[in-house]
Structure 1
């Protein structure tokens, strides 16, 4: 039998707060990490309480790092949250490169999996056909055609998916270029064995320019049409899909090395246990994949604010370090230029789950990459190439950042959550619950329960998790795939005409 979870936990020996793992009553005595404390307040599950007295303005520590400052005197045993803890974040920072990191990855490499080998040598976790509109005007056409084609060709390919979006016209400059770059990069994802690009004809995001932005290795798998040029546009789309299905249906899976995996790392609807269970579990898997020369993609740049030192310290070169620091500061400057604070996060759901400041949220979030080396930094719409961790330019929004991960070449996304979300994205999206209550309540959303880490040996949980991920990469459907929950969202940054 596994050992029962303790009522409260100390994340790091230097911490000044403990974390309630269950709801705790006022007057109850707990001893996280051996620090005995009588609670002054009732403490909701996932929330913090003071292990010692804090003077007003004094730093509060979790994960061994400062997560903000006390806004008033805090007595031991007191609930620590947004009523008495505030962020220290203000704006841009200067970063100093400290030299190449010493990152001996002792993690065991991952075994092989079963994937589809593409003509360019890359491996896919799925053999699918994607219908992508150039503009929102034909988004319903793409989605309707995908539904009809899925029924017509059930079982012949892994899926036929239509991904609507509202953009592609009334955009200018870098905003239009960003939409084009993201769609072109989605066309290049190995999981899309065939792509039908559906244009309207008069939109800003013209088909010819979009196709020219697609990497040359992927242009042969693309079919196109302009709806304004067709008498029956639906029939025309269906004919193109029929031909692609005939070409892709005979393909079979074969053995693929772990180095052929490209995995996106994402968290959404986090709670205070996300940084204790689910995100560290992804970190351990990330170390195994990095030790196997696989690729990891980390994004959600605003959710690195306050924890960037831990990530930048793993940069493999001065150039990568400088590029990562510049990217983080550009996001901060974007907030500041709009007259907004850089700390306008966590979300209401995060706060209800016990996360108080952005520093606290970020320190939990960056654990998804473990100690894997930071090997590259890429712009929105570019493709990850380097083994190890690539930092991708994209915001924290779940749909936008997950779409960006797929566009950057991820053939699977690992998505941790403490509050729960059903949404999936173009590539298999593995939902990892931070707590067992969520996993039990939402089996139609959750693929793996990381809450068991509070009671089971970490190595056994990591092995089970790794095996499950390789099974999903090899064809086992995720909860989101079974439910048909697959969308894209493009990052709109400019004016709308």
Structure 2
């Protein structure tokens, strides 16, 4: 990466990601007529350039590819002069529909990343380690969602300090669903029951719902059934009292547990971005990528999802497939997701969001090329369906959409015991497992200290190696019990992927 700074100042003005890039990104607001040097090239700006937005490093003809990250991020919709603002008024996506990925091949990825040191977690009876020792209340159906949330709040006060948390996760689904849609709800809830961070789970049903308790329990992995406590609200007696009795039983069982040394190979980390800006692909996502490579080098697991935010960056990810079978499964998942869009009459490029665009991201290709950097160069080792559980060392590609709440819930269901969430615009929202917010820019980190856990904006002016080491230390501290901002704020939710008709 090349950066440009004022003489005598450590603060860069603009950033060029790759030697072949035809655009650079303004790291602060720049004025028309301003002269600056980028990679030895003198540039005179012809427009005002908002912070995070792109300007041209050379002339572009109409229809010519615009290059960022060394890759095409779209086509010029009209001629663009050197020093001009490059954004949605003169740049458009080149994405269309499904692709044949067979020609990509696969590679045996070797990383020179250093393994991570140990951390301190809770060892479960099946040998897995948890970053938290909690009780989760999960409703089978939305009719009892307020009940589990109310009981959990009351129980947390009664048992404060005995275990890490007691949380009720409401959702509106579980009835008036059919076929694959109902099966998806059931699979996701069953997988959440299996997450190691839930030392105990109280499953609360209504009694008459489509998502019947008995059917749900059969899908919970055998290793996690002993920690389940089951009740139906329609059964005789006070339902809140019965729920509290089940929680009391679990607290007595879980309270004596203590943290112990855990190997880095026991980490299972979910990778997520939301509210991205043009700096996400320069700071926060590459920083997360460096950590991901260390997790993989340690024999740990990484889970990557948001399949629509891979469109346009597939080559970079799929070429790291560890076998032809993994490549074929990943390609099929991406094309299946594209078909999901097309069958609804929607273009596959219906992204980025308004917030992304305001932050300087123009096309889905640009957003995706920044997003896939969260996994670094870690090997792509497996592909799983929505509601599946990650078991392979390295990166597992998980079927789920880009929506923050839906995809993050799917990451927790897949077994992630910590979610690393990069953002350029900011969000307070957290999910079932510790959700660590990493800001792409220091302005956000300063403005929202109650949301952000780590400022990746330091990567622009500081020593990247030192920042990466500080980042790894902070993440292991959070894995070992230090609360993330979303935990301190009580911002923890789940959201299930609703794909079918509603009766």
Could you say which TM-score interval applies, normalised by the shorter chain?
over 0.9
Give the alignment partner of residue 385 of structure 1, picking from 391, 404, 421: 391
Q: Which residue of 1 aligns with 2:344?
A: 338
* Equivalent position SS for 1:143: helix
Residue 409 (str. 1) matches residue 415 (str. 2) = yes
* Equivalent position SS for 2:177: coil
Give the alignment partner of residue 326 of structure 2, picking from 320, 326, 332: 320
Give the alignment partner of residue 14 of structure 2, picking from 8, 21, 31: 8
What do you get for the CA RMSD once the two structures are aligned?
0.9
Q: Distance in 2 between matches of 1:409 and 1:97?
A: 32
Residue 298 (str. 1) matches residue 301 (str. 2) = no
Q: Distance in 2 between matches of 1:36 and 1:249?
A: 64
Residue 159 (str. 1) matches residue 162 (str. 2) = no
Q: Which residue of 1 aligns with 2:122?
A: 116
Q: Which residue of 2 aligns with 1:255?
A: 261
Q: Which residue of 1 aligns with 2:404?
A: 398
CA contact under 8 A between 1:97 and 1:318: conserved in structure 2? no
* Equivalent position SS for 2:189: helix
Q: Distance in 1 between matches of 2:485 and 2:26?
A: 30
CA contact under 8 A between 1:97 and 1:321: conserved in structure 2? no
CA contact under 8 A between 1:3 and 1:455: conserved in structure 2? no
Q: Distance in 2 between matches of 1:343 and 1:73?
A: 22
Q: CA deviation at 1:32?
A: 1.9
CA contact under 8 A between 1:301 and 1:393: conserved in structure 2? yes
Q: CA deviation at 1:456?
A: 0.8
* Equivalent position SS for 1:45: coil
Structure 1 window deviating more from structure 2 (466-475 vs 88-97): it is 88-97
Q: Which residue of 2 aligns with 1:101?
A: 107
Q: Distance in 2 between matches of 1:457 and 1:34?
A: 22
TM-score by length of 1: 0.99
Give the alignment partner of residue 489 of structure 1, picking from 489, 492, 495: 495
* Equivalent position SS for 2:110: coil
Q: Deviations 1:176-206 (Å, cap 9, x if unpaired)?
A: 0000000000000000000000000000000
Residue 419 (str. 1) matches residue 429 (str. 2) = no
Q: CA deviation at 1:5?
A: 2.3
Q: Which residue of 2 aligns with 1:233?
A: 239
Q: Distance in 1 between matches of 2:82 and 2:453?
A: 39
Q: Distance in 2 between matches of 1:267 and 1:391?
A: 15
Give the alignment partner of residue 363 of structure 2, picking from 342, 357, 364: 357
Q: CA deviation at 1:9?
A: 1.1
Structure 1: 4+ residue segments shifted above 4 A: none
Give the alignment partner of residue 142 of structure 2, picking from 123, 136, 144: 136
Flag structure 2 segments of 5+ consecutive residues without an equivalent: 1-7
Q: Deviations 1:56-79 (Å, cap 9, x if unpaired)?
A: 000000000000000001111110
Q: CA deviation at 1:6?
A: 1.5
TM-score by length of 2: 0.98
Q: Which residue of 1 aligns with 2:354?
A: 348
Give the alignment partner of residue 85 of structure 1, picking from 86, 91, 104: 91
Q: CA deviation at 1:115?
A: 0.2
Give the alignment partner of residue 30 of structure 1, picking from 19, 36, 39: 36
Q: CA deviation at 1:104?
A: 1.8
Q: Distance in 2 between matches of 1:285 and 1:266?
A: 13
CA contact under 8 A between 1:230 and 1:236: conserved in structure 2? no
Q: CA deviation at 1:101?
A: 1.4
* Equivalent position SS for 1:7: strand
Q: Which residue of 1 aligns with 2:4?
A: none
Flag structure 1 segments of 5+ consecutive residues without an equivalent: none
CA contact under 8 A between 2:104 and 2:318: conserved in structure 1? no
